[in-house]
Amino acid sequence: MTIYFNEPQSMYHRFGDDPEHVLKVLAERYIGANPQADFVYRKFQKSGILQNDQGLYDLNLGERFPDAKQGQVSYAAALVWGDEDRNLDVLVSCYGPVRFWFNGLLTYRSTVIDEIKPDATVKLSLDIKPGWNMLLLELKNTAAGFGCRFGSDEGKVRILNVLAPFRGRKGSAGWVYSEPICPDHVPAGIGDLLGEEGPDLLGDEAACGLNWLPETRWSPERQNLPVPERLFGRLPGRRVYGWTRIQAGSPAGIPVRLSGHASGPLRIWLEGKLAAALPEAGSFDVEIEAGPGTGDLLVCSECPAAGEPWQFHVGAAIGAEPAAHVLPWRVHGAEGETWLYAGPFEADAEPDATEMCRMDRIFAVQGNGADHEPEHTYWRLDGPEAWVRPYYENAMLSNKWTVGSVTNYGRWDYPLGVTVYGLLQTGRYLDRPDMIRYAAEHVQACTTMYEYSLWDRKQYGFPAINQQLVMMKMLDNCGSFGSAMLEAYGECREQTFLPIADTIADFMLNKLERRDDGAFYRKCPGEYSENTMWADDLYMSTPFLVRYARLKGDPAALDEAAKQFLLFRKYLFMADQKIMSHVYDFKYGQATRIPWGRGNGWTLFSLSEVLAALPEQHADRPALIAFFNELCEGYAALQAESGLWHQVLNDPDTYEEASCTAMFAYGFARGVRFGWLKKPEVYAEASRKAWQGLTRVAIDRQGNVHGVCSGSRYAFTSEYYDKDLLTVTNDNHGIGIMMLAGTEVARMQEHLEQRQSPAVVRSS
């Protein structure tokens, strides 16, 4: 038997296998380890280094410095923060000669093949350390090119956010890069960056002796212009909105006094109330009742006629005491600034002032009369091309090998889909509205920023949030979390869920790659998974289709879900053993015949979701009930004495794995409760045995989940699954399904007890 911890440390030793206690500890541990955290907002200069559609930072210095001489060099530098030790694979694709230092050590030097061969890519493995980690590139200009592309492998999944070095740029996002210089003119100060004795990238950038870009200060000719004119130029009739916050200890009953002047028409709102309206240029002095403490101050300034400077000034006082202005939202890298700006807006584009003081919206700058797609804008700062940009940093460097202790709140990612579903079902079973609200708000954190994230991708080339949703390309990117989103819709009725659901459904039903017979598969040209079908994709598609059909009252999506099971059975079902091959590889015209545990778990789990929704009279229901019974018979025959199943189901030499065990317990319990199984007593016992095994072997008394294998590729040998796919503690592939197994085993037991002695049971 596989041992993950000593028996006295087990959940069973502390609570037995009582689902109510186990579920409470599981859910509360997860929520405690993943506190609700907003996106991190940072200053980002659009004139800096942008990412391409693969998430690689495109340091094409040949385009930025077309007059650079051959042989000249530039440096590019960035910081990466690490909360803990973790590994990250990065890709380097060279335009010309490249040297790369990581934390002061020369880690990579390009070869002539790297520099000259088109699209050559090198993969490097970086060990991120706790604290600041330094990335430094030396880029040389040759006839082949100048610069490189650099970023994490699978950038929309394993996110690499970089921060600007140097004290004066602290908190800003993005790389800095230097103007080209001759190699023999490299200043001595650059040695501090290259050395192993603690490179000083948090110090003064001038000490390096290089001119670093992007520029953080306005050019001299624009420096003395008033802010609206500096940011937007002179645009008669256009409007700009400014947002700040008044900070003062205002006691109740004492009005706020606003005074100042403007070069054109001006309107001012304080805490959402119109405080002043100037129809033309001039000064103002008004008082308005306001609550104690801070208050949002919003200004709409209209550019005057051509030739007049565009400016406004608004001061505030509480009684005789001046009130300070502070930035209305925490924006890292914007220390000392007090206003955010949005615009310029056409005269017929009038934002709702009561909806402006928020960070989850983009704003149309043109009216509906435009004969092309309206342009949008977002908040920016007083600096050259300086924008406010939200970043997902809760799992900044997560990867499939080490995900245990990193906060995952607010991320759109497929393993988190089943985690959210598990939390919803646990909250319902335990009658814990707080758990339900936490799960629903995780989803809302993604969906309320959906329109912004689409705009972010258009603006910068690669989105800083919602990467998988925005760059939807395969079922992994949308199905699991989309299903959880629709499950949460029943709890919160969040309207931002609905257009996203329509987008996902359109992708699955109309755009996803299919075989000639209609079966979903992975085309993935040029990738390792090219031309393959995965059992996993039944989970990545059919639970969403079931819920979408219910939402829309349209059976077409449900019919598609049923159809896919029968098609996947044709390719992947190993009839001699009544289990599923993990993958069918169309390149070789055969299934791998390796029955990976979790791939089979996804199959049974998802089939139970479809059967629970399929009408009794549906044409495919008899075939799917028969398929469900075949699978359950095959799985039950392979259950180990411990109650768990092996990583490769038919190979007892592979380790016992927890996530597939939880899914089989879930599927068996549902089959018993809904009456789908021919021998329910056999599967009720197998489900109980699996649950008890999980509480003895895989769940410790603190609620940590062990024995869950990391995310998988595929192979034609079981050795890959056993030796390369090692287990990870608290991996999100297993936490949610562990909770789902507990709720289903508990409901099965209540169902069986009710049959013996009718009583009121909890609803599902």
Do 376 and 405 lie in a common domain?
no
pLDDT at residue 294 greater than cutoff 90: no
The answer to whether residue 341 is domain-embedded is: yes
Residue 391 in any domain: the answer is: no
Q: State which amino acid sits at residue 754.
A: Q
Tell me the H-state helices in 178-332. Answer: 191-194, 220-223, 227-232
Are 501 and 551 in contact by the 8 Å Cβ rule? The answer is yes
The answer to whether residues 208 and 238 belong to one domain is no
Domain range for 71: 45-213
Residue 309, SS3 per DSSP:
coil
Q: Do 600 and 562 share a structural domain?
A: yes
pLDDT on residue 156: 86
CA 689 distance to own-chain centroid: 36
Q: What is the mean pLDDT of residues 28-52?
A: 95
Q: Which residue has the higher pLDDT, 403 or 722?
A: 722
In-domain check, residue 567: yes
Q: Which residue has the tokens 């989105």?
A: 463
Strands 363-364 and 376-377: antiparallel
375 lies in the same domain as 311? yes
Query: Which residue do the tokens 């089989």 mark?
Result: 664
Which pairs count as long-range contacts for 315-322, CB under 8 Å and 24+ apart, including other chains? 315/258, 315/259, 315/260, 316/246, 316/248, 316/256, 316/257, 316/258, 317/256, 317/257, 317/259, 318/248, 318/249, 318/250, 318/254, 318/256, 318/257, 319/254, 319/257, 321/248
Task: Judge whether 170 lies within some domain.
Answer: yes
Per-residue model confidence as pLDDT tens digits over 229-281 = 999 999 998 999 999 998 865 556 678 889 999 999 999 999 888 989 999 99
For residue 597, list its beta bridge partners: none
The pLDDT of 475-492, averaged and rounded, is 96
CATH at 501: 1.50.10.10
pLDDT band at 374 (very low <50, low <70, confident <90, very high): confident
Q: What is the CA radius of gyration of the chain?
A: 29
Span 679-701, average pLDDT: 96
- Element (H or E) spanning 283, and its range? strand 282-288
| pLDDT tens figures, 703-752 | 999 999 988 899 999 999 999 999 999 998 999 999 999 999 999 999 99
Domain boundary among 213, 236, 264: 213
Is there a domain that residue 533 lies in? yes
Which residues lie closer than 8 Å to 489 by C-beta, 6 or more apart?
Answer: 497, 498, 501, 551
| pLDDT recorded at residue 197 | 47
- Counting Cα atoms < 13 Å in the Cβ hemisphere of 217 gives 8
182 and 135 within one domain: yes
Across 315-323, average pLDDT: 85
**What distance in Å separates the CA atoms of residue 689 and residue 673, rounded to the nearest whole number?**
16
Give the pLDDT band (50/70/90) at residue 763: low
Q: Structurally, how many domains does the chain consist of?
A: 3
Would residue 621 count as lying in a domain?
yes
State mean pLDDT over 308-337.
90
Q: Which of these ranges, 26-30, 39-43, 207-211, 742-746, has the smallest mean pLDDT?
A: 207-211
Out of 53-67, 309-323, 334-348, 634-648, pick the least confident. Answer: 309-323
User: CA–CA separation, 107 vs 88, rounded Å?
Assistant: 14
- Give 258's strand partners: 286, 316
State residue 760's pLDDT score: 52
Mean pLDDT of 596-619: 97
Please check whether residue 88 is in contact with residue 399, taking contact to mean a CB–CB distance below 8 angstroms.
Answer: yes
- Give the CATH number for residue 55: 2.60.120
- Provide the b/e sequence for 243-253 (b: ≥16 CB within 10 Å): bbbbbbebeee
Q: Which pLDDT value is given to residue 402?
A: 36
Would 300 be classed as within a structural domain? yes
The C-alpha angle 572, 573, 575, rounded to 5 degrees, equals 145
Q: Where are the beta strands (DSSP E) in 329-404?
A: 340-345, 363-364, 376-377, 386-391
In the listed set 175, 191, 213, which residue is the last one of a domain according to the structure? 213
More confident residue, 291 or 47: 47
Residue pointed to by tokens 């390149």: 587
Bridge partners, 132 (sequence order):
81
Strand runs labelled E in 375-422: 376-377, 386-391
Mean pLDDT for the stretch of residues 341-355: 91
E strands in 209-262: 212-213, 239-247, 256-262
**Model pTM above 0.85:** yes
Q: Are residues 356 and 464 in the same domain?
A: no
Give yes or no for a contact between 19 and 742, defined as CB atoms under 8 angstroms apart: yes
Between 745 and 349, residue with greater pLDDT:
745
In a domain, 61, yes or no: yes
Q: Give the mean model confidence (pLDDT) for residues 105-124.
A: 92
- Alpha-carbon distance of 461 to 453, in angstroms, equals 11
Domain identity same for 719 and 739: yes
* Spatial distance between the Cα atoms of 451 and 679, rounded to a whole number of angstroms: 50
Average pLDDT over residues 185-204: 63
pLDDT, tens digit (0-9, with 9 covering 90-100), for 499-531: 999 999 999 999 999 999 999 999 988 888 999
* Residue at a domain's end among 170, 189, 213: 213
Question: Same domain for 268 and 404?
Answer: no
- In this predicted structure, the answer to whether residue 425 has a pLDDT above a threshold of 70 is yes
Which residue type sits at 635? Y
Task: With cut-offs at 50, 70 and 90, classify the pLDDT of residue 372.
Answer: low
Interval 386-412 mean pLDDT: 69
Together in a domain, 105 and 196: yes
Same structural domain for residues 656 and 696? yes
Average pLDDT over residues 10-32: 94
**Per-residue pLDDT, 403:** 37
* 705 and 666 both lie in a single domain: yes
Q: CA 457: distance to chain centroid?
A: 14
CB-based burial, 488-526: b 16+ in 10 Å, e otherwise? bbebeebebbbebbeebbebbeeebeeeeeebbbbeeee
| Confidence grade of residue 321 (pLDDT, cut at 50, 70, 90) | confident
Average pLDDT, the chain: 91
The per-residue pLDDT for 198 is: 45
Tell me the pLDDT band of 5, cut-offs 50, 70 and 90.
confident
Residue 339's pLDDT is 97
Among 274, 341, 458, 404, residue whose Cα is nearest residue 729: 404
SS3 5: coil
Same domain, yes or no: 191 and 285: no
Residue with tokens 């990391």: 710
